[in-house]
């Protein structure tokens, strides 16, 4: 880790290898269920044996002390956690490829990563079985890179961010203190493991000695059954998946009696979702965190801390925040600025050449360009990202704050806000909404609702309604697709 970043002292940061917390958990309880994948249950002892085999195989491809690079194109399979921990244990670098990408996107990612070994769903099982047993996990320098994650859903060359082992050891320690997951927990991770939230949720659970349940493919009805019948205590997912699970549970009359915590990221939860979740599991804490692949955790909004509904909470454990103007100078509390972050969890930037957008670091502080402000009590509110800003009638509007206002309307389940070209306004502030059940609202009602909560010019001038919700591979709303459908006239106009 960089010397000017805050570090952690604790059980995870005392480890000398990112795979060590998992290995220690396996040594303490080798018979405890580690991974449940469909009908397959893998114990910690068995998983550790497989991890050691992978470590032996990866060590054999090391070249002159250079960390071996292994590309994984498996999707959600039981082998993925085995390969992840084995590669990391050997000081290698994991490159995660999404099998849902186009052939061109996969080829571009391979060209950027340049792996020494490429394993797929077809080749991985036999390769693991062919490796020798008995390999010993070594110590690894915390500055050693271990993960290259790729941006997905783009038409050009994927942007690849780099994380080192020390940054994730610090991340594990921070989330242990904030979330409190332990060996008695059963963690359900229904989303794809090739994306950061799903991968980290599984790694976090296995590093803590918990039982991690993974779906081969997201299935809301099956997830609701597991939550109701399998003693699941922790749910890690994005908001769109949570809404689908709540729909399935309410339809079938299921409740979640064992659930203690819901860890959610990717977008803010609408107030109505909080209410629905509380009805099914009133004792569960809702832990919404704001972060980015390049920054890791930034802030946390816990349902038990009384944070304002429109905030993203207070700084995550071990995180310092600085709001700055365009010249890099700190702004006063209550005034908007670019969110800069300092912690021991920051990435090492990008692999190869990039377009200059995205993550930047300066003197140990990092930013992805998000824009927000901190109120007098220390709660962080986001208003958008610099590239998302809409200029309408000469005034700047950040879509995120308008989306928060729309989601609070009782008829709106979800909303996406953007600008559409307009000869008078330049960009006309526009929104696509998804209705909550049979509820509906008029354009005038939605504009009035927003004007009661925001400046008048931030009320959308055009509103469209959508029946279906296009999603990215990670389960987030595909915002570009939504905007294009609205621009092309493919959505219902709300009058």
| Domain extent listing, the chain | 20-311, 312-386, 389-493
- DSSP 3-state helix, strand, coil percentages of the chain (rounded to 5)? 30, 25, 45
Q: Which among 241, 246, 228 has a CA at the least distance from the CA of 195?
A: 241
User: 201-255, pLDDT tens digit by residue?
Assistant: 999 999 999 999 999 999 999 999 999 999 999 999 998 899 999 999 999 999 9
Q: Which segment, 12-26, 157-171, 186-200, is predicted with the most confidence on average?
A: 186-200
The string of DSSP letters for 318-346 reads T-EEEEE-TTS-B--TTS-EEEEEESTT-
How large a percentage of the chain has pLDDT more than 70?
Answer: 94
How much is the pLDDT for 386? 66
Q: Do domains 20-311 and 389-493 have the same CATH topology?
A: no
Mean pLDDT of the chain: 90
Contacts of residue 57, defined as CB under 8 A and 6 or more positions apart, other chains included, come to 86, 127, 128, 130, 131
| Residues 143, 139: Cα–Cα separation, whole Å | 12
Residue 155 has pLDDT above 60, yes or no: no
**The domain 312-386 is classified under which CATH number: 1.20.1260.10, 3.20.20.70, 2.30.38.10, 3.40.50.300?**
2.30.38.10
Length of the chain: 495
Which pLDDT band holds residue 2 (cuts at 50, 70, 90)? very low
Query: 435, 113 in Cβ contact below 8 A?
Result: no
pLDDT average, residue stretch 275-295: 94
More reliable by pLDDT, 152 or 183: 183
Considering only 328-332, 393-397, 438-442, 478-482, which range has the smallest mean pLDDT?
393-397
How large a percentage of the chain has pLDDT more than 90?
Answer: 71
Structure tokens that stand for 271 in this block:
């107030």
Q: Which residues, in sequence order, are bridge partners of residue 420?
A: 428
pTM of the entire predicted model: 0.84
| Count of CB atoms situated within 10 Å of the CB of 348 | 19
| Residues 269, 274: Cα–Cα separation, whole Å | 7
pLDDT average, residue stretch 48-65: 91
Which pLDDT band holds residue 154 (cuts at 50, 70, 90)? very low
| Count of CB atoms situated within 10 Å of the CB of 335 | 11
CATH architecture of 20-311: 3-Layer(aba) Sandwich (3.40)
Q: Which among 138, 166, 125, 115 has a CA at the least distance from the CA of 52?
A: 138
| Residues 281, 436: Cα–Cα separation, whole Å | 21
Distances (CA, A) of 217 to 17, 119, 151, 187, 221: 30, 20, 20, 16, 12
Structure tokens that stand for 477 in this block:
């709303």
pLDDT average, residue stretch 48-75: 92
pLDDT average, residue stretch 325-345: 93
pLDDT average, residue stretch 417-435: 91
How much is the pLDDT for 278? 94
pLDDT average, residue stretch 58-73: 89
Which pLDDT band holds residue 6 (cuts at 50, 70, 90)? very low
Query: 218, 195 in Cβ contact below 8 A?
Result: no
How much is the pLDDT for 304? 92
Residue 290 has pLDDT above 60, yes or no: yes
How much is the pLDDT for 405? 92
CATH class of 389-493: alpha beta
- Tell the residue number behind the tokens 């600008």, with chain if given: 419
Question: Residue 378 region, left (φ>0) first, then alpha (ψ -120 to 50), else beta?
Answer: left
User: 132-144, pLDDT tens digit by residue?
Assistant: 998 999 999 999 9
Radius of gyration of the chain (CA): 23
More reliable by pLDDT, 491 or 393: 491
pLDDT average, residue stretch 164-189: 97
How much is the pLDDT for 387? 67
């Amino acid at each position: 880790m960089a010397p000017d970043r805050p570090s952690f002292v604790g059980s995870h940061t005392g480890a000398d290898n990112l795979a060590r917390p998992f290995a220690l958990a396996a040594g303490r309880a080798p018979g405890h269920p580690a991974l449940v994948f469909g009908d397959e249950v893998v114990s910690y002892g068995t998983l550790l044996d497989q991890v050691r085999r992978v470590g032996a195989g990866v060590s054999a491809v090391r070249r002159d002390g250079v960390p071996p690079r292994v590309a994984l194109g498996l999707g959600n399979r039981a082998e993925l956690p085995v390969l992840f921990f084995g590669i990391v244990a050997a000081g290698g670098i994991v490159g995660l490829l999404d099998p849902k990408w186009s052939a061109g996107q996969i080829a571009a990612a391979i060209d950027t990563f340049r792996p020494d070994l490429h394993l797929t769903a077809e080749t991985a099982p036999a390769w693991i079985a062919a490796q020798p047993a008995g390999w010993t996990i070594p110590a690894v320098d915390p500055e050693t890179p271990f993960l290259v994650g790729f941006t997905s859903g783009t038409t050009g060359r994927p942007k690849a961010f780099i994380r080192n082992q020390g940054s994730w050891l610090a991340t594990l320690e921070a989330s242990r203190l904030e979330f409190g997951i332990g060996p008695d927990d059963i963690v359900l991770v229904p989303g794809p493991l090739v994306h950061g939230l799903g991968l980290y949720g599984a790694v976090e659970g296995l590093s803590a000695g918990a039982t991690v349940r993974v779906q081969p493919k997201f299935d809301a009805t099956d997830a609701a059954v597991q939550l109701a019948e399998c003693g699941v205590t922790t749910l890690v997912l994005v908001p769109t998946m949570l809404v689908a699970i709540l729909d399935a549970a309410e339809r079938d009359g299921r409740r979640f009696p064992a659930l203690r915590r819901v860890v959610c990221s990717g977008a803010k939860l609408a107030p109505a979702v909080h209410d629905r979740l509380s009805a099914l599991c009133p004792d569960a804490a809702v832990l919404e965190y704001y972060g980015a692949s390049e920054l890791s955790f930034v802030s946390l909004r816990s349902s038990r801390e009384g944070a304002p509904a429109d905030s993203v909470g207070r700084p995550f454990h071990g995180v310092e925040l600085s709001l700055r103007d365009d010249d890099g100078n700190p702004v006063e509390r209550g005034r908007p600025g670019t969110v800069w972050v300092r912690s021991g969890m920051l990435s090492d930037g990008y692999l190869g050449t990039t377009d200059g957008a995205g993550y930047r670091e300066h003197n140990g502080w990092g930013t992805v360009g998000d824009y927000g402000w901190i109120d007098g009590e220390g709660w962080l509110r986001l208003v958008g990202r610099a590239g998302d800003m809409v200029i309408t009638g000469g005034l700047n509007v950040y879509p995120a704050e308008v989306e928060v206002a729309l989601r609070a309307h009782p008829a709106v389940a979800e909303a996406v806000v953007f600008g559409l070209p307009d000869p008078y306004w330049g960009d006309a502030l526009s929104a696509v909404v998804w209705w909550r059940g049979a509820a509906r609202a008029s354009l005038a009602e939605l504009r009035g609702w927003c004007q009661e909560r925001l400046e008048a010019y931030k009320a959308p001038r055009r509103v469209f309604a959508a029946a279906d919700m296009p999603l990215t591979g990670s389960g987030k709303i595909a915002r570009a697709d939504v905007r294009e459908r609205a621009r092309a006239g493919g959505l219902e106009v709300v009058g």
